Amino acid sequence: MVRHITRLIISAVVFTAPITAISQHESHGEEHHEEVENSHDAQHQETLHENSHEAGHGDSHHHDDEHGHEEKFVAGDFIMHHIADANEIHFFGDVSVPLPMIIYVEGKGLDVFMSSSFHSEHGGHGGHGPYYATGPSTGVEYTKDENGISAKDHGEEVAIWDISITKSVFGTLMILTLMILMLRLAAKSYARRPGQAPTGLANVLEPLILFVRDDIAYPIIGKHKADKFVPFLLTTFFFIVGCNLLGLIPFAGGFNITGTMGVTIVLATLVFIITSINGNKHYWGHLVSPPGVPFLVKFIVVPIELFGIILKPTVLMIRLTANMSAGHIIILSFVSLVFIFNNSYGAAGGVGIGVFSTLFMIFMYFLELLVAFLQAYVFTLLAAIYFSEATQEPHH
Amino acid sequence: MELLNILIEITTGQGLAGLGAGAAAIGAGLGVGLIGKAALESMARQPEASDDLRANMILAAALVEGVALFGIIICLLVALG
């Protein structure tokens, strides 16, 4: 079983890494909103000055209030910045770890450099950007702003493929390495002590593994058919739990791996592929031509059923992404409350609301711990249900 | 006057997204509440079926929540887009 797990993990790495990066690059264009762009363009100069004073506070977004008397803290901006994927791991204040950028420029070649090469117009790293960097091997000028990364060669826009190791990709690789190490260690301890009760790490992992096998796979798929799917279910379960828990560690870079659409889309696609490959005659027969349905009604039912096989993994993807992002958004909202009250009612308001916020944040953290396991369970459970639908034998 | 301003803001701007999020929360709350109620009643009647009921309760709650989250995401897109 362990060999299967390892093999699946490796294939998952191969799948996840580029797709996460590409989708991160594309999603920047979608998430970006006009209002921010406008205000940034108009207030670019002011914000740059403001932010140079607030070097230790680079992630709180300020811009002038419309009425012009006070700086305004834009909570939505602050939250989105924190749950979005990034090219660096930001711990607190100015402390951040740069990650490698890997960009393929069409017709030019590959650029590999650290994200710390990006600097603003004044040469610093703080503030909003846009940031500029020059490709070391292609000489292309990169610009990183709210839209993501764009490249210009002698003033002309060139197409790029951004397959950088982003924060989410890095976190994914970290969790997968941890999984391989831990599960291999556990497997070795079983081989070393045959027939004896498990100890140490194996003792910790055994209940979880048995839970996925005996409480999810066997009852739903059926004992004789489930063994084929157990490695995949175990891998997704441990991967999702690992990613969810990594995102909950405070001051550890604020990873939001399972809240990144690129990661969950890969997981959902794998579920879709496995379901489709293992779909038997009964499954496809009922999809394409449901028995006992009048001929004309089939024209309505069959498209809906076919749409459903795409919709099911899509919902799986959105449920996981939205749930994990929602947890981060709630916690960050409580952080934002402190700044909002601090700005409108002074320091006393900030401290007062801070006590309340902290208590609620602690409560939310415990809730999120539950949700981290619950969402992994739900994802695995639904994947198992889809597999069982695909492999069901006719009984009528 | 203040109320009028709030109303104008709601009808013209992103305030509607907030209302939408609230509506989604009402829907999800009702759904999950009913599931919890039914599950608790069943568990009280047949404690030996608790494990089975719990798994199905979580599954049904996740399905309800998924729909609510669709709503929340659309509100988020309206508010930010």
Give B53's contacts (C-beta < 8 A, 6+ positions apart). Answer: B39, B42, B43, B46
Q: Tell me: pLDDT of A7 over 70.
A: no
Q: Is the dihedral of CA B64, A16, A91, A143 positive or negative?
A: negative
Determine whether the interchain pair A318/B73 forms a contact, defined as Cβ–Cβ distance below 8 Å: yes
Q: Are residues A248 and A135 in the same domain?
A: no
Q: Which of A167, A201, A220 is the last residue of a domain?
A: A167
Instruction: Count Cβ atoms below 10 Å from residue A18 Cβ, excluding itself.
Output: 17
Residues 23-62 of B with CB under 8 A from A: 55, 58-59, 62
Domains of chain B: 16-80 (1.20.20.10)
Q: Are residues A207 and A162 in the same domain?
A: no
Place of tokens 């998430």: A31
Q: Which of A108, A141, A167 is the last residue of a domain?
A: A167
Give the dihedral of Cα atoms B8, B11, B12, B13; nearest 10 deg: 100
Instruction: Count Cβ atoms below 10 Å from residue A47 Cβ, excluding itself.
Output: 19
CA distance B20 to chain A (A): 16
Query: Closest Cα to residue A375, out of B15, B25, B46, B59?
Result: B59
- In this predicted model, which residue has the larger pLDDT, A63 or B72? B72
Instruction: Quick: pLDDT tens for A190-205.
Output: 888 887 888 788 888 9
pTM over 0.90: no
- For residue A299, being part of any structural domain is answered with yes
Domain that holds residue A145: 2-167
Q: Are residues A133 and A209 in the same domain?
A: no
Instruction: Quick: pLDDT tens for A131-190.
Output: 777 777 777 778 777 777 777 777 777 788 888 888 889 999 999 999 999 999 888 888
| Residue in A with minimal Cα distance to B73 | A322
Evaluate whether A78 touches A47 at the Cβ level (below 8 Å): no
Tell which of A381, A385, A386, A388 to mutate to test the B interface (max B CBs under 10 Å). A381
| Residue in A with minimal Cα distance to B76 | A76
Task: Check if B18 contacts A (Cβ < 8 Å).
Answer: no
Determine whether the interchain pair A215/B81 forms a contact, defined as Cβ–Cβ distance below 8 Å: no
Instruction: Count Cβ atoms below 10 Å from residue B27 Cβ, excluding itself.
Output: 14
Q: Which of A167, A186, A216 is the last residue of a domain?
A: A167
Give how far Cα A146 sits from Cα of A65, A129, A346, Å: 20, 8, 31
- For residue A396, being part of any structural domain is answered with no
Instruction: Quick: pLDDT tens for A196-243.
Output: 888 788 888 999 999 999 988 998 888 888 889 999 999 999 999 999
- For residue A84, being part of any structural domain is answered with yes
| Chain A, chain B: beta-carbon pairs less than 8 Å apart | 36
**Quick one: which H or E segment has residue B57?**
helix B50-80
Task: Check if B70 contacts A (Cβ < 8 Å).
Answer: yes
Q: Are residues A58 and A200 in the same domain?
A: no
**Is the complex ipTM more than 0.90?**
no
Q: Are residues A201 and A152 in the same domain?
A: no
Three-state SS sequence of A3-27: HHHHHHHHHHHHHHHHHHHHHHHHH
Count structural domains, chain A: 2
Tell me which chain A residues have a C-beta less than 8 angstroms from the C-beta of B9: none
